[in-house]
Amino acid sequence: MTLHAQTRTAVIAATGCDLSWLADCLRASGWSLRLTGMPDLADVSTESGIDLIVHCHLPQSATPATTAAMSSEAWERIAMAPMRHTLATLRAAPTLLDGQGAVVGLGPAFALNGTAGLAAVAAAVEGQRTLVKATARQWLRGAIISNWIAVATEDLLPDLAGLPNLGRYAVGEPIRRRPGAEAVAALIDALAGMAGRALAGQTLIADGGDWMTP
């Protein structure tokens, strides 16, 4: 398998979140970027070849809400729509990548452990993460590598920054070495290169050591 190491063109597909912080760092590390808010990547040209697709689809509003008070319309918007968007991106990926390359999904780390008031968002994120695993299994036959990075929730959903119990309980102030955008970009860069070939369907938790894989 040969990745398009020379062209280094990436697509960032994002809905419900702002990934400009990440885009700047990926550009700085040599990636030519196409940004899209269309989950099916329909507006992305393949003329120069695409090597990497980064996707992150979150609800337009992730305001904490109790499940009992949640309308069916809100559930559809918060839990179901982001998953559908991820499905659309993953369906489009093989054609855009011309059968080889890397796909990296991003999601907020809180969903790994759960947070009160965010059950619908957590459903969306864990559904997306599991879809990435299932997709990675189907793609094992080919040359597309698909993985997932769980990043600090505040990086993707800054409005939730003050929410209690968003991270792991710690006595006193939590000690976290929260990675900056450069570190997350470097991780994506690695997943798109040789290091990524060792992985498939994995979740890397890049939250500064808050939650750790059991």
Partner 1 sequence: MKDALLHSRVAVLTGVGSGLGSGLATAFATAGARVALVARSSGVSDALADKIIAAGGEAIVLRGDISDDESVGRAVASTVEHFGGLDIAVQIAAHPRSSTPLELSAITDAEWATQGDVTLTGCFRLARAAYPALRANGRGRFIAITSAYGLSGDGGNPIYSAQKGALRGFAKSLAKEWGPDGITVNLFAPSSESEATTAYFERFRDAWEGFRKAIPLGRMGNPAIDIAPAVVALASDQFGFVTGQTIPIDGGFYTTL
Least gap, CB of 182 to partner 1 (angstroms): 29
- When asked if residue 106 is in the footprint of partner 1 (CB under 8 A), the reply is no
Q: Tokens in use for 116?
A: 């009160």
Return d(Cα 109, Cα 99) in angstroms, integer.
Answer: 29
- When asked if residue 125 is in the footprint of partner 1 (CB under 8 A), the reply is yes
* Part in contact with partner 1 (CB under 8 A); list of ranges 25-33, 97-105, 109-117, 179-187: 109-117
Q: Tokens in use for 49?
A: 């070849």
- When asked if residue 87 is in the footprint of partner 1 (CB under 8 A), the reply is yes
- When asked if residue 123 is in the footprint of partner 1 (CB under 8 A), the reply is yes
Least gap, CB of 40 to partner 1 (angstroms): 10
Q: How far is CA 146 from CA 47, 97, 159, in A?
A: 22, 12, 28
Residue selected from 24, 38, 84, 98 as contacting partner 1 according to rule CB under 8 A: 84
Nearer to partner 1 (CB atom), residue 6 or residue 66: 66
- When asked if residue 118 is in the footprint of partner 1 (CB under 8 A), the reply is yes
> What one-letter code names the amino acid at 6?
Q
DSSP label at residue 169: -
- When asked if residue 80 is in the footprint of partner 1 (CB under 8 A), the reply is yes
- When asked if residue 7 is in the footprint of partner 1 (CB under 8 A), the reply is no
Q: How far is CA 15 from CA 24, 71, 135, 205, in A?
A: 17, 22, 20, 21
- Residues near 129 by beta carbon (within 8 Å), at least 6 away in sequence: 105, 107, 111, 148, 150, 203
Task: Report which secondary-structure segment, H or E, holds 52.
Answer: strand 52-57
- When asked if residue 168 is in the footprint of partner 1 (CB under 8 A), the reply is no
Give me the residues that bind partner 1 (CB under 8 A), please.
66-68, 70, 72, 75-76, 79-80, 83-84, 87-88, 90-91, 94, 111, 113-138, 140, 165, 201, 214
